[in-house]
Every structure is written in structure tokens, then in C-alpha cells.
Amino acid sequence: MFEWMADPSAWAGLFTLVLLEIVLGIDNLIFIAILVDKLPPHQRDRARVLGLMLALVMRLALLSVMSWLVTLTDAWFSIGSFSFSQRDVILIVGGFFLLLKGTVELHERVEGKTARASGSRLHASFGVIVLQIVVLDAVFSLDAVITAVGMVDHLSIMMLAVIIAILLMLVASKPLTQFVNAHPTVVILCLGFLLTIGFTLMVDGFGFAVPKGYLYAAIAFSVLIETLNQLARRNMRRLAAARPLRERTAEGVLRMLGMKPEEGAGPESAPGGPVPAQVFEDEERYMVSGVLALADRSIHSVMTPRTEVAWLNLEDPPELLRQRVLESPHSFFPVCRGSLDEVVGIGRAKEVVADLIELGAIRLSRLRDPVIVHDSMGVLRLMETLKRSRGQMVLVTDEFGAIEGLVTPIDVFEAIAGEFPDEDEVPDIEEIGKGRWRVDGAADLLHLELLLNTDGLADEDEDYATVAGFMLARFGHLPQAGDHCELDRGHAVFVFTVERMEGRRIASVLIERRPADNQDTAETRSE
């Protein structure tokens, strides 16, 4: 039985047959990988191993009845000029099954109609999947066994080649199954292979021989292209992973907001492809963008500046103090002696008024200790301080100890959701016409960027956070009413015109959006 072991040509035939059996079994392995993905995770390995074991048993059984197998190629019946053997019928039925199954699977993958119930995926029955594997094993085993019969003469060589090939495929089946199911494009490619193989089987059953070399060459070329595609995707993911996680998360959310990306990081260059249409309303977009930008804000961008702080001077007469409290909508006031830098404490409005009516003076024992932070503190740490202050205001000081302004919880909330003017205030940004706005010089640049739907105004490397600071940095000197500067953002040109000055402060600015011209004027121009 094993006389062939001394024949070198027999060993060459064994090696060649093992390779052919593996090649002929790849399509079966691909189909098993797609089928077992429909099972619950704990059943997939069992179904995969069972499918390959059934293929082994079926091929060994067919090899044992070679005399019957040879008769399958004899004419069984005829239809017109076509005569069909039992092998032809099996190939036609198997090819039709492959075409039908491959088309259904491809439709589900492309249309995304995978069954779901209560948020969980619906899995197929184990018996149904195994039955489909058995049917396909019969078709693929027939092709493999006929190849073995035609190549070598010894039954032991055929059986050994089949066993070796199945064992090798069994070892490679799990990583191949995981790879196929983890890459959607590979699944689509494999389904295309199955459609091609099914068509080839049907054509072969009708007596039209298709050279296997053409089929395998097409498959090999497709695999090469998909390999390059996977390498390109992996390199893009590696490049994206090199960026900070917070930056990637923020950029992804901003794309959903319809925000314009920075030059060089546009939608065309993004791994995810084109930017989707805006899916948030304007107010939602402001809030989400405000939350994402909160950590990058400086304390100057959220605080009320010194010039706008309402405070009480202990040296003023009681009637003047009472009038200031009643005319202001604020609930807390810094109580100082002579200057804002000389803070004594923080007074609650109703307690201060009560003291002024009953005692004619502010009772210092009822004042709260001031909470003072340095202007270098970040906004996130500032929020923790505001929580500990139990709703009380926080004073901001510079490195020389001078009070620069104050921050309240409503200031942080406005940085997220936009401006909420008090009764004695007007909105910082007011639309006065199509493409025209009147903006207070103290308006926040980040909020203005959202309203104008542009970027390039706020710069964390610069020491300003307001429209007035932005314009002073562009002019390089103190401007006069009527002076203007332009900012070209490619899609539009924004003209900033000084409308009104209050001393050395830019009090009001007019902004006009004009269509961009054809000239390449990316730099800001000022006059």
C-alpha cells in the first residue's frame, strides 16, 4: 500500500496535490468564514471545525468509492444538444446555490439590513448553518476529489494529501475567519469570489470549460489590490493615532457640527472621507463647540473685565451705595475700601440693602471672604473653584496683585451656550442686516466665530480674547472711528470697521461679510 514512499515522483505528486487541495479548499473556507459569522460567538469555533471535519470525512468517503465516482462523469440524460452527467447536475445545483447565497449575503452587507432586535444582533440557528456548510462541502469536495483522482494513482497518496490539506486549513481557518469578519471590504471581496466561483461551476456543469488559471489569476489580483488597500488604511489609522485622542475626538464632533476644518486637515484628507452634512441645530452647535473649546479658553475670555465690574466702596455715603445695589441686577458685589484692589469681602445684595436701611452702613461681619484666583488658571480648574465657592463670584488677579475682573457661574455657562444679557445690558453681537453685524468690542471671539461660521479669529497663542483685542493686534496702534481691517478666509472676506471709541477702548465694531474675490489674499489687510 505504501510502496510509493520510495518513489521520489510520488512525493512530488503528494506535495503538488496538497497545494492543489488547499487552493481548491480556499473557496470553501471563505464561505465557512462568512457563514459562521451569523452564529453566536461561542458557537463559531465549533461550527468552523465541524464544517472542515465534515469536508474531510466527505472527501475521504468519496475517495473510498472511486469506482462510483468515475461513473458520475457518464451521460445521465440529455436536453437537446446538451447531455448532463450526475457530476454536471451537482455542479449546476451547487453553483446556483452559491450564486443565490452570495447575492443575498451581498445585498445584506451593502444595504446594511442585518437583523436587529432590542439593540442586539439576531443570530442564525446552529443546525441551519451546519446544513449549509454540508451542502457546500459536497460541491467543493467533489471538485477536489476529481482533481486528486486525475493527478495520482495511489489511493493512500490521495487520502494523505486530503488530510494534510484539511489540517492546514483547520489551523489557518480561525485567523482567516477573524480577519475576514473584521474587515467589511474583505467580506465584500470574498462574496464576489463566491459569485465568480458559483458562475464557473454552473458554466462547467453545462459543458463549457473555464480554465482555472484565469479564475485564480483574477482572484490573486483582487487579493493583491485589497492587500494594498488594507495597508493604506492601516497607515492612515496609525497616522491618525499619533495625534492626541482629545484632538481627534473634538475634530470628529466638529465635523458632525458642519464646522469648516483647518487648511491641510480638510474633509478630503480625513480617513473618514467627506464631511457629513450639519446634523445639529445652531444652538446645539454652539453648545457642543463651547464644551469642546472650554479647556482651551483662558480665564480672560470668560471673566467680566475690571472696567465693567460693579463694586461697592465703603467710603461712599449709604444712599449712594443703596442706589447702586438697587439699580444693578447682580446678587453679589465686591465690597472694597477706596479701590477695587482693596477688597474687604463679598456682600449679598439683599443683606447689604438691609444693613444700609437698619444701620446706615454695611456690616462687615456679614461679608463673605473673597475667593481670588490668578489669571493663569485654566477654565476647568476655575470651574472647580466656582463649585467650592457655592455660587459666589471669583475675583481674578494678575501677577502684581491687581484685580483684573471677576467670574461667576453664569460667565462659564455663557462660554458654553452663548450670551445671556442682564436687564441693563444689550447683546454683544447684534445682526443688523444680511451679512452685517454690530459687535461690542468686549465680545468673545470664540462665540463670534460660531455666529460667523468661520475660524481664524481666536488664537490661543495670542494674548487677547475679545474683538477689540483682535483688531488692536491687527492695527498695531490705537485706531480711530472709521478705520477698518479685512480678513480673507477663502470662502468670504470679513471687513471689521471701528464704529465707536470710548477713550482708549474700541467700544463698537461693524462687521460685514463679502463674497471672496479671485485674488489670493489670505493675509489680513488694514488701513
CB distance 278 to 450 below 8 Å: no
User: Is the pLDDT assigned to residue 284 strictly greater than 70?
Assistant: no
Tell me what percent of the residues of the chain surpass a pLDDT of 90.
Answer: 14
Does residue 245 surpass a pLDDT of 50?
yes
Q: Which three cell numbers stand for residue 466?
A: 475679545
Residues 393 and 513 in one domain: no
Q: Which residues does residue 436 pair with via DSSP β-bridges, in sequence order?
A: 433, 512
pLDDT at 265: 44
pLDDT, average across residues 235-241: 75
Q: What is the dihedral of CA 512, 254, 525, 523, to 10 degrees?
A: -150
- Count of CA atoms in the C-beta half-sphere (13 A) of 105: 26
Q: Cell 458685589 belongs to which residue?
A: 333
Range with the largest mean pLDDT of 108-117, 168-177, 178-187: 168-177
pLDDT single digits (tens) 355-365 = 999 999 999 99
β-strands 371-374, 116-117: how paired? unpaired
Same domain flag for 390 and 505: no
- What pLDDT is recorded for position 396? 93
Contact at 8 Å (CB) between 410 and 304? Answer: no
What is the domain extent for residue 285? Answer: 244-263+279-292
219 and 145 inside one domain: no
The answer to the question of residue 423 being in a domain is no
274 occurs within a structural domain: no
User: What single DSSP character describes residue 502?
Assistant: E
Q: What is the pLDDT of residues 488-508, one digit of tens each?
A: 877 788 899 999 998 888 989
Angle in degrees, CA 21, 22, 24, rounded to 5: 65
Same domain, 56 and 204: yes
Asked if 304 and 231 sit in the same domain, the reply is no
Same domain, 173 and 251: no
- Contact of 340 with 383, CB cutoff 8 Å: no
C-alpha cell at 31: 464561505
Is 343 within a domain? yes
Q: Which residues on neighbouring strands pair with residue 305, listed in sequence order?
A: 405
Pair 121, 41: CB distance under 8 Å: no
Span 395-408, average pLDDT? 91
Decide if 148 is inside a domain.
yes
Number of compact structural domains in the chain: 5
Across the chain, mean pLDDT equals 75
Task: Provide the whole-model pTM.
Answer: 0.44
Residues 157, 22 share a domain: yes
**Does residue 25 sit in the same domain as residue 170?**
yes
pLDDT tens for 260-271 read 554 444 444 444
Whether residue 171 lies inside any domain: the answer is yes
Q: Residue 89 above 50 pLDDT?
A: yes
Residue 163 and residue 23 share a domain: yes
Q: In this structure, what are the phi and psi dihedrals at residue 153, rounded to the nearest 5 degrees?
A: -105, -20
